[in-house]
Amino acid sequence: MMRIGMLTSGGDCQALNAAMRGVVKCIANSGEEVEFYGFLNGYKGLIYSDFRMLTSRDFSGILTKGGTILGSSRTPFKTIKDPDENGLDKVEAMKQNYYKLKLDCLVILGGNGSQKTANLLSEEGLNIVSLPKTIDNDLWGTDMTFGFQSAVDIATGVIDNIHTTADSHGRVFIIEVMGHKVGWLTLNAGLAGGADVVLIPEIPYDIDKVCNAIRARDERGSRFTIIAVAEGAISKKDAKLSKKEYKEKVANRKYPSVSYEIAEAIQKKTGHEVRVTVPGHMQRGGAPDPYDRVFASRLGAEAGWLVLKKQYGYMVAYKNREIVKVPLKDIAGKLKSVAPDAGIIKEAKALGVCFGD
């Protein structure tokens, strides 16, 4: 009898359920006798032994369902080795709960911080297989993460809808897109939605260059400008600050995010009316799109095979259009950013997109 634990950690996204379903169906269809244990609310469930046994019924009808049937939470890696408020050693607690249930393997679905904890548990001797979940698409070792394409679809839809009102009123519209410290989501949604300016963390912007792009559109007779701004976008001036200085500036920022700061500067320098739209967490929500349903199912099936073959210590990944496995130790703690000289950036510039540089 195999005993498999599963948990979903960090921010939720589309296709978490589809990926878990893929794992379960692969193992169940192999003919192996198996019990599945779902830890609730991410690593917290593993720390505090909050779990429930899962049956095939739990995975029926969830292919198209967003969110996660197990619940999720953020358990920051930087504090994972710190005792909790009651003095509990969290790492030791996770290990003991794994052994108490006599698990053969723990399948972890998560993003950057979650993969670091997954690698830590692997180094502590637990059998771990992980899956790459994040709308940010910032995990090292994989060309794509599930949840990303669905989030691109949603952000693109927002930009599409903004076009008509921007044109009607002759305004500058800023759409703030999620993505944490990287610009993959903003870049792809911006290109798909026909944004005129795209500002991402990897390419610090000069506000005067952005304003020049707006003026150039004015001279060509364009009534509006669409700007896609990553939540982590940073100006050239701020990029020169130390990490501490920049954190202090953000903490004392007049507005809730960089988009409003950019809007104020544009309004002052150009005289244009500027509006900001922040779709926020709706980019994580709703049903996964068809691409993510297929993609997450494939990743889940591969994870199931790794479990059956007892190949542990790996994250299932997507490289060169193939599903592969990559060692957790090789990817944990590494961020996959957009290279400023990447082909997609050069091609976007050829299309007339301004990056503020």
* Strand positions, DSSP E, 115-250: 128-132, 172-177, 197-199, 225-230
Q: In what order do the strands lie in the sheet with 172-177?
A: 197-199, 225-230, 172-177, 274-277
C-beta separation of 113 from 138 below 8 A: no
C-beta separation of 70 from 109 below 8 A: no
Q: Indicate if 208 belongs to the active site.
A: no
241 vs 323: CA distance, rounded Å: 40
- 347: Cα within 13 Å, side-chain hemisphere: 9
Of the candidates 136, 138, 196, 292, the residue annotated as catalytic is 136
Cβ count near 336 (within 10 Å):
18
163 vs 356: CA distance, rounded Å: 21
**What is the CA angle 19-21-26, rounded to 5?**
100
CA 127 to chain centre: 25
Q: Is the dihedral of CA 227, 228, 229, 235 positive or negative?
A: negative
114 vs 347: CA distance, rounded Å: 33
- Pick the closest to residue 13 from 281, 192, 228, 230 (CA basis): 281
Cα–Cα distances (Å) from 27 to 1, 43, 158, 303, in that order, read 12, 23, 39, 9
* Residue 164 burial (C-beta neighbours within 10 Å; 0-12, 13-18, 19+): exposed
- Pick the closest to residue 72 from 28, 93, 41 (CA basis): 41
Which residues are annotated as catalytic?
A: 136
